[in-house]
A = this chain, B = another copy of it.
Amino acid sequence: MFNTTEVYIVAHSLVPGGRHYEKGLKELFAEAFLKVLDQVGNSNLGAVYVANAFSEVLQDQSVLGAFLSDYVGLRRTPAIRIESGDGSSGVAILEAYNMVKAGVYDCVAVVGVEKMHDVTSIKLNKALATITDYEYEGFFGITPAAQAAMAMREYMLKYGYDYEDLASWPIKMHERGSKNPYAYMRKQATLKDVLESEVIADPLRLYDAAPAVDGSAAVVLCNKPLKSNAVVRIDGIGIGAYGTYMGQRDTLTELLSVKDAVNMALRMAHSSIGDVNLVEVHDTYSILGILALESMGFVRPGETPRLLSTGALDAGNKLVVNASGGLKSMGFPGGASGMYEIVSMVMELTNQKPFDSLGNAGLGVVQDMAGFDLVSTAIV
């Protein structure tokens, strides 16, 4: 029943992640939003979707859409908050995409915003733990880092890797981050740096975790490509859900919500995995980036650390993974993470610096995920 409207990303902006103590949630929102508003001029925004995971806990603030849109003077434009944990951005894009595709609105803005600092790390970890199944996991002290550590251990056992082998992820991401002006982590990391870093949840180390940052990013989706040299068409979008706590899963090394989401998106785009040149995966922890790649079918199970260390996923190859340096280098802005990924992908696809050496970028996939394989979205 879908009509044939195409959906384009006609504007984008990204506020680099950091410890923005001088800015509140409203200021961060405004910074990303006003930049895309400048780019689209006075085109009518039918609605604004706000992707945010933790404001209720971290800022004691709900009904976020209304307060944020009022702050930028959009008093009568519906502003709807989408909360799907750290996968909020993907779901917000999905909602916005469907609204434009279906002709409800001509143009819609999607803004991801999260302010992770200004609270103690105890409070932040408590907020992060809301993305676990609180009845079966969070209540007993399981955090997202603990979940990642369990998956990492299973992965190492299953494919015969040592911890050193998995360090290829943070090393590669830091290397790319060093060239990305939007990155929070701008220094290279050596194997020694990684191996000597603090153990967070054995075997997971500090360098395996994307650093929590305050940040925001925005895009505008329209049914027409506005005049701009940075327009990207969305060909497919998929969602997968698998809200099962870890104890009930058959395996921790396959992310089924990610698999479903990418299959749905590729089907919609009439494409296959082999057509894809670029992929941005949600690497809040190294292992989750690795598992996402393998669950989507881009890399054979167990092969990612090897391919990364040989440079087979670098620029110049058939497939480039996290050209941006991923969340590992850009930082982890909670529910805004997927927006960081999608804005990076737009810059990659349109050959904007710092990604202008990627050559002919054709088709990209952005994968976003909430918690451990709970709700995932893939955008082609």
Contacts and interface: CB of A to CB of B under 8 A. Distances in A.
Contacts of A129: 60
A338 interface: no
Given A3-B3, A63-B370, A244 B57 contact: no
Contacts of A56: 54, 56-57, 83, 127, 130
A240 interface: yes
A129 B98 CA distance: 33
Contacts of A257: 66
A87 interface: yes
A294 interface: no
Contacts of A78: 94, 239, 241, 375
Interface in A92-118: 94-95, 98-99, 101-104
A87 B79 CA distance: 13
5 contacts: A53-B62, A54-B62, A70-B242, A79-B243, A80-B84
A127 B242 CA distance: 28
Contact of A67 (B5, B53, B133): B133
Contacts of A61: 130, 133-135, 138
A145 interface: no
A321 B82 CA distance: 32
Interface in A40-98: 53-54, 56-57, 59-71, 75-85, 87, 91, 94-95, 98
Interface string A238-263: 01111110000000000001001000
